[in-house]
Amino acid sequence: MSNKEMNRVLTIRNVPYEVEEAIAAQAKASGRSKSEFVQELLSATFSDVIGNFIRTSELVALMDREIARVTRLQLSDNWVEGGISLAESRAFCQLLGIHTPDDLQRIMMDAVPWLHLRARQLEAAIPQLPQGASLEYALFIEAAGLNYQALTAVRRGLYFMTAEAAFWQQVDEVRDARKLLPLDRPQI
């Protein structure tokens, strides 16, 4: 089957005027037609294995509700309010070797016992729990099991806004809870 045969036609009706205007302006600024611009945006969004998993996994939805209950934070009604950006998703996939929804299911299942720990680590930092937070927590828990060199890449690529000492403390807490050996790393 050729690429052309694999493509489908999608018609979108009743787009609000303001949205159509925003699409037109952004398409023009990027030098693309509206159709090309929307096609690229949709393709990027819906080819994201992590974003798709967040929006479709019953386990993620269940654990998000559980974390919201435990933390007494309101769970966002909309999956686009916060959470993992497309760039972060790509970085997680690269750094953790994620290729399929099965990889994410395994990571999520493995992390369930420690999701509350990760929620406590971040409790004061967020005013509202975005949908998919439990998967984001699970990805951190998975990353915490990596070696020092790999974790340094995770910190630089994904957690650069977290103070270095706080990042390593959180990693150490997760490793301790998971009964993993302490990291052999330089002291800060």
The total domain count for the chain is 2
Q: CB–CB of 152/172 below 8 Å?
A: no
Is the per-residue pLDDT at 81 higher than 80? no
Which of 35-39, 44-48, 137-141 has the least mean pLDDT? 44-48
Is the per-residue pLDDT at 78 higher than 80? no
| 29 & 58 share domain | no
| 65 & 86 share domain | yes
Is the per-residue pLDDT at 164 higher than 80? yes
Tens-digit pLDDT profile for residues 105-121: 999 999 999 999 999 99
Is the per-residue pLDDT at 35 higher than 60? yes
| 75 & 28 share domain | no
| 23 & 116 share domain | no
- What would the two tokens of residue 92 be? 């997680």
User: DSSP state, 162?
Assistant: S
| 84 & 115 share domain | yes
Strand partners, 129: 75
Q: What is the CA 171 to chain-centroid distance, rounded?
A: 18
- The mean pLDDT of 152-170, rounded to a whole number, is 95
| 84 & 135 share domain | yes
Closest C-alpha among 41, 71, 63, 42 to residue 131: 63
| 42 & 55 share domain | no
| 179 & 166 share domain | yes
The whole-number pLDDT of residue 99 equals 97
- The mean pLDDT of 4-14, rounded to a whole number, is 80
Q: CB–CB of 175/182 below 8 Å?
A: yes
User: Average per-residue pLDDT in the chain?
Assistant: 90
What range defines the domain where residue 40 resides? Answer: 1-47
Percentage above 90 pLDDT, the chain:
70
Which of 2-6, 41-45, 99-103, 158-162 has the least mean pLDDT? 2-6
SS3 159: coil
The whole-number pLDDT of residue 42 equals 84
The whole-number pLDDT of residue 128 equals 85
| 33 & 5 share domain | yes
| 162 & 96 share domain | yes
The DSSP element (H or E) to which 149 belongs, if any, is helix 148-158
The whole-number pLDDT of residue 184 equals 86
| 43 & 53 share domain | no
Dihedral pair phi/psi, residue 110, rounded to 5°: -65, -30
Tens-digit pLDDT profile for residues 57-68: 999 999 999 999
Is the per-residue pLDDT at 3 higher than 90? no
Distance, in Å, from the CA atom of 35 to the CA atom of 41, rounded to the nearest integer, reads 10
| 109 & 39 share domain | no
Is the per-residue pLDDT at 14 higher than 80? yes
Distance, in Å, from the CA atom of 49 to the CA atom of 118, rounded to the nearest integer, reads 22
Alpha-carbon separation of residue 35 from 12, 23, 26, 31 (angstroms):
11, 9, 12, 12
